[in-house]
Chain A
Amino acid sequence: MPIEVLMPALSPTMEKGNLAKWLKAEGDDVKAGDVIAEIETDKATMEVEAVDEGKLGKILVPEGTQDVAVNTPIALILGEGESASDAPAKSAPKKTDSPAKPVAGEDGAAASTGKPAEAAPEEMDVPEGTEMVATTVREALRDAMAEEMRRDPDVFVMGEEVAEYQGAYKITQGLLQEFGARRVIDTPITEHGFAGVGVGAGFTGLKPIVEFMTFNFSMQAIDQIVNSAAKTLYMSGGQVGCSIVFRGPNGAAARVAAQHSQDFASWYAHIPGLKVVSPYTAADAKGLLKSAIRDPNPVVFLENEILYGKTFPVPKLDDYLVPIGKAKIARPGKDVTIVAWSIGMTWALEAAEELAKKHIFAEVIDLRTIRPLDMQTIIESVKKTGRCVTVEEGWPQFGVGSEIAARIMDEAFDYLDAPVRRVTGEDVPMPYAANLEKLALPTAAKVIEAARAVTYR
C-alpha cells in the first residue's frame, strides 16, 4: 500500500497551512529524513521530511496551495512495485477532521475560506460603506501596536522573544524592523523583573506594552501588576500612575496541560486599579488594543492562542478604536442571554446557532471588557430574556460568571425566570490526555444544555 504523507501540524493549535514548495518531484526517490516539501503558516515556515523510503509517487496537493488542513494527505510514497493507483480511495485531497481542531462549526469553516466569521452588528462608529478587510486576530494585534507606536514615540514593546524572534506567537512580527531595537526590546526570561521595569518606566510617563509569552508566566510578575501597577495611583493620591499594557495569550491552548492552561480573567478582574480586556474578534482585538495602549491606566489584555489564526472582518479606517468597558450584542435574541468573551464566544455562538434550530433564540453578549464590567448591557438583555447563561474557560469558584450572577440578582432579580447558570471550565487542573482535556473545557453542548435548562425546554 502506498504511504500517505499528511499535512503536519506545527503547533498544538495549528489547523491549516500553506504548501509553499515541493522539493522533490513525482518519481524522485526519497529516504526517511529527506526534506520533501516546505509548508508555512502565518507564524513560521517548516520543512516536511519523508518518514519512509520509496518513490514519491504522486503529489496530491500542488505547491502554492493555501489553507491545507492538518492531516490532509499531500503526497503518496510508493514502495517497490507499487503505483499511485494503488492508493486508498480516501486519499483524494479533502478537509479531514483533525483531532487537534479545537472548535468546529461555522467559525472554523469560515476561517479556512478567509471569509468573515461573524454576523455581529457592526460597531456604531464605523461609517457606512467602510471597506472591511479579512484579518487574523494575530495581524490585528500587530497592526494595533504598530499604529500606536507610529502615533506616539513613548510607546514601546518589551518581552521575551518579541524582537529578533518576531514574537513567540508572531504577534510582534515586523515591529523590530520598523521601530528598531530601542522600542522593540527582547528581555531575558525574567517576568517579575521586566514587569517591574515596565511599571517603573510607566511611572515616568512612558507607555510600555509588556508581553507575557503566555499569561501563565504573569504569576511570576503578579506582585508588580497588582501592588505596583494597580495601586500606586491611589497610594500616591493621584500623583503617580502608569499607562501600561500587559498582554499575551491567556487560557488553554491545546494539549499543554495544567501549568500552561489557565484563565486569568477573574484573577485580574478582582483588582481595583486595573482594567481587564479580552477580545474575541480581530476588529475588537485591534480597536481595544489601541484603546488599551492609550488608556492612562494599567490594562491587562488577555488574548487567546486558538483565536490568533482566526480571520474576521476589520474596518479599514485610519484610527479604529473600540471603547474599553463596552460589551457588544453579537447576536440578538429574545429567549435567553448568553454572556461570553474571547474563546467562550465560539461556544456561545455555536450554541446559539443550534438552539435557534430548536426555536430557542439566544442573545449572545460579547463582554469584551471584564473590568469595568458593562452590567448595563447585560441587565438590559436579561430584562428582555429573563434568563442568563455565562460562559467562561476559567474555574467555577469566584469566576466572572459568579460575579455576573450576583450582580444580576442585585440589579434584575425580579426579571429572572430561572436561576443564572454558569458554564465554566471544570474545577480541576488541566489534564493532558486529549479525552480528559476535552471534558475539562466548556463546549457548545454544555452551553446548549444550560440554555435549555434555564428556558425549561
Chain B
Amino acid sequence: MPAAAKADKADKSVSRATKTAAWGKEQELKAYREMLLIRRFEEKAGQLYGMGLIGGFCHLYIGQEAVVVGMQMALKDGDQVITAYRDHGHMLACGMEANGVMAELTGRRGGYSKGKGGSMHMFSVEKNFFGGHGIVGAQVSLGTGIAFANRYRDNGNVCLTYFGDGASNQGQVYESFNMAELWKLPVVYIIENNKYAMGTSVDRSSALTDFSKRGASFNIPGEKVDGMDVRAVYDAGLKAVEYARTGNGPFILEMQTYRYRGHSMSDPAKYRSKDEVDKMRTERDPIERVRNRILERKLASEDEIKKIDAEIRGIVNESAEFATNDPEPDVSELYTDVLR
C-alpha cells in the first residue's frame, strides 16, 4: 500500500466510493452464470426442504449472490474462504460441486461431509473452503487463525472471512480484529449486512450501523460496498485482498445486501414488509442487473443467455436427483471421524 493511501486510512473507513471498471464479455457472463447457479440451487433447496428431503435448519442465500461471486473473482488460487451457516452460495462460488452440496443437505453419503454435517457444516480442503460454521461469530476467530497460518508460512495467501451484521456484535469478532491488526494478518473481513440479524433489524441491534467503521478502534480500514452489484463487489474485493496480501493487515468490507427469503426456512419474515422485499427484488436484483448489462452492451444475445439458463437448470436438477437417490450414510459411519 502506498504511503499516501496509508495516511488517509481514517478517511477510507467512511469511503463509499467504489468505481466499477468495465468488464468484458467473459467476466460478465461468468458472474451471471455463477450467481444464477446459486439462485437456482437455493430455489431447488427450498423446494426439497418443503418436500421433507432436507431437514433441520436451511438458510438460503437468495438475494446475496453478488457478494460471494464478486469476491471469489477477486481471489487467487490458494486463498481461503470461511463463513457461517448461510453457506451454500459460498461453497458453489468456491467451485464445490452442486451434487455434493445438495447431497449434504439431504444427509446422503455423497455429501461433502458424508451426510454428517448438513447445511451448516460443509468443507472442502481441495477448494480451500473451511466451512460452514453454526456458531455465530466463531468463524471470525477461525478465519483469523487461517490468516495467521498464511502469515506463519509466508505463503502469500489471503483468507476471506465472512460474517453477518448479527455476528458483528459478537465479542470474539473484536478479539480477532485486534489480533489481526496487531499481527498484520492477511485477512479480509466481509460483513454481509443483509439488514436483519434473524428477525432483528440492524437499527434495533447495533449501536453503530455503519459496519465499515467497526474496525476503527483497531485502526482497520473499512469500506461500504453495494453488495447488490457484483462489479462493485469485485472492485472493492480486489483492492481489499491486495491490501491484505501485501502485508498491510486486515481490511473490512461492509457488503450492503439483502436476503429475499426468511432467516431460515421456518421464518415467515413478518418483521419486514412485502413492499420492502419487492422493491429490492425489482430494482436491485444482482442477477437482473448483470443480465441487463449484458444485453444492453450486446455482450451476448438472449439466446446465449437462455442457453446458460438451461445449462444451470440442468446442473441443479441433476444435483436434486443425485441428492434424492444417493443412499444415506452407512450405519458404520456413526462412529467414524470422531478422532483421527
Q: Is B304 an interface residue (CB 8 A)?
A: no
Q: Is B125 an interface residue (CB 8 A)?
A: yes
Minimal beta-carbon separation of B327 from chain A (angstroms): 15
Interface centre among B82, B113, B148 (most CB of A within 10 A): B148
Interface centre among A188, A194, A204, A233 (most CB of B within 10 A): A204
Minimal beta-carbon separation of B175 from chain A (angstroms): 3
Q: Is A375 an interface residue (CB 8 A)?
A: no
Chain B residues 166 to 199 lying within 8 A of chain A, measured CB to CB, are: 171-172, 175-176, 178-179, 182
Chain A residues 65 to 124 lying within 8 A of chain B, measured CB to CB, are: none
Minimal beta-carbon separation of B133 from chain A (angstroms): 7
A182-B152, A197-B176, A240-B123 as given contacts; A234 in contact with B138, CB under 8 Å = no
Chain B hits for A223, CB < 8 A: 135, 138
Chain B hits for A236, CB < 8 A: 112-113, 117, 121-123, 131-132, 337
User: A135–B156 Cα gap in the complex (Å)?
Assistant: 43
User: A431–B280 Cα gap in the complex (Å)?
Assistant: 60
Q: Which B residue's beta carbon lies closest to that of A243?
A: B340
Is the CB–CB distance between B340 and A190 below 8 Å?
Answer: no
Is the CB–CB distance between A196 and B123 below 8 Å?
Answer: no
B338: which of A199, A224, A273 is its contact (CB, 8 Å)? A273
Q: Is B142 an interface residue (CB 8 A)?
A: yes
A interface residue count range (under 10 / 10 to 19 / 20 to 34 / 35 or more)? 35 or more
- Chain A 262-280 near chain B by CB (<8 Å), digits 1 or 0: 0000000000110100000
B142: which of A196, A238, A241 is its contact (CB, 8 Å)? A196
Chain B hits for A227, CB < 8 A: 134-135, 138
Chain A hits for B178, CB < 8 A: 188, 190, 193
Is the CB–CB distance between A233 and B338 below 8 Å?
Answer: yes
Chain B residues 124 to 143 lying within 8 A of chain A, measured CB to CB, are: 124-125, 130-135, 138, 140-143
Minimal beta-carbon separation of A325 from chain B (angstroms): 10
Minimal beta-carbon separation of A200 from chain B (angstroms): 2
Is the CB–CB distance between B124 and A188 below 8 Å?
Answer: no
Minimal beta-carbon separation of B185 from chain A (angstroms): 9
Q: Is A206 an interface residue (CB 8 A)?
A: yes
Interface centre among A194, A195, A200, A223 (most CB of B within 10 A): A200
A224: which of B138, B150, B340 is its contact (CB, 8 Å)? B138
Chain B hits for A361, CB < 8 A: none
Chain B residues 317 to 340 lying within 8 A of chain A, measured CB to CB, are: 336-340
Minimal beta-carbon separation of A140 from chain B (angstroms): 26
A196-B145, A228-B133 as given contacts; A237 in contact with B116, CB under 8 Å = yes
Is the CB–CB distance between B179 and A193 below 8 Å?
Answer: yes
Is the CB–CB distance between A297 and B179 below 8 Å?
Answer: no
A200: which of B112, B116, B117, B146 is its contact (CB, 8 Å)? B146
Minimal beta-carbon separation of B269 from chain A (angstroms): 28
Interface centre among B80, B135, B175 (most CB of A within 10 A): B175
Chain A hits for B176, CB < 8 A: 193, 196-197
Q: Is B114 an interface residue (CB 8 A)?
A: yes
Q: Is B262 an interface residue (CB 8 A)?
A: no
Q: Is A11 an interface residue (CB 8 A)?
A: no
Q: Is A326 an interface residue (CB 8 A)?
A: no
Q: Which A residue's beta carbon lies closest to that of B336?
A: A238
Is the CB–CB distance between B172 and A201 below 8 Å?
Answer: no
Q: Which B residue's beta carbon lies closest to that of A203?
A: B130
User: A373–B98 Cα gap in the complex (Å)?
Assistant: 42
A233: which of B122, B124, B140, B340 is its contact (CB, 8 Å)? B340
Minimal beta-carbon separation of B257 from chain A (angstroms): 25
Is the CB–CB distance between B116 and A235 below 8 Å?
Answer: yes
Q: Which A residue's beta carbon lies closest to that of B171?
A: A192
Interface centre among A196, A232, A272, A296 (most CB of B within 10 A): A196
Minimal beta-carbon separation of B102 from chain A (angstroms): 15
Is the CB–CB distance between A240 and B131 below 8 Å?
Answer: yes
Q: Is B149 an interface residue (CB 8 A)?
A: yes
Interface centre among A187, A235, A237 (most CB of B within 10 A): A237
Chain B hits for A228, CB < 8 A: 133, 135, 138, 142
B152: which of A156, A275, A296 is its contact (CB, 8 Å)? A156
Chain A residues 223 to 260 lying within 8 A of chain B, measured CB to CB, are: 223-224, 227-228, 232-241
Minimal beta-carbon separation of B228 from chain A (angstroms): 30
User: A156–B176 Cα gap in the complex (Å)?
Assistant: 19
Is the CB–CB distance between B131 and A232 below 8 Å?
Answer: yes
Is the CB–CB distance between A239 and B175 below 8 Å?
Answer: no
Q: Is A399 an interface residue (CB 8 A)?
A: no
Chain B residues 16 to 70 lying within 8 A of chain A, measured CB to CB, are: none
Interface centre among A190, A195, A234 (most CB of B within 10 A): A234
User: A240–B183 Cα gap in the complex (Å)?
Assistant: 25
Q: Is B144 an interface residue (CB 8 A)?
A: yes
Chain A hits for B143, CB < 8 A: 200
User: A203–B148 Cα gap in the complex (Å)?
Assistant: 11
A197-B179, A275-B339 as given contacts; A239 in contact with B145, CB under 8 Å = no
Is the CB–CB distance between B124 and A206 below 8 Å?
Answer: no
- Chain A 203-219 near chain B by CB (<8 Å), digits 1 or 0: 11110000000000000
A197-B179, A296-B340, A297-B340 as given contacts; A237 in contact with B125, CB under 8 Å = no
Which residues of A are interface residues toward B (Cβ below 8 A)? 156, 182, 187-188, 190, 192-206, 223-224, 227-228, 232-241, 272-273, 275, 296-297
Closest 8 CB pairs of A and B: A200-B145, A196-B141, A193-B175, A237-B114, A200-B142, A235-B121, A237-B113, A197-B145
Given contacts A234-B338, A238-B337, 7 further A-B contacts (CB under 8 A): A197-B141, A197-B145, A200-B143, A202-B145, A204-B146, A206-B152, A238-B336
Q: Provide a sorted-by-A list of 5 A–B residue pairs whose CB atoms are within 8 angstroms.
A: A192-B172, A203-B142, A204-B150, A239-B113, A239-B124
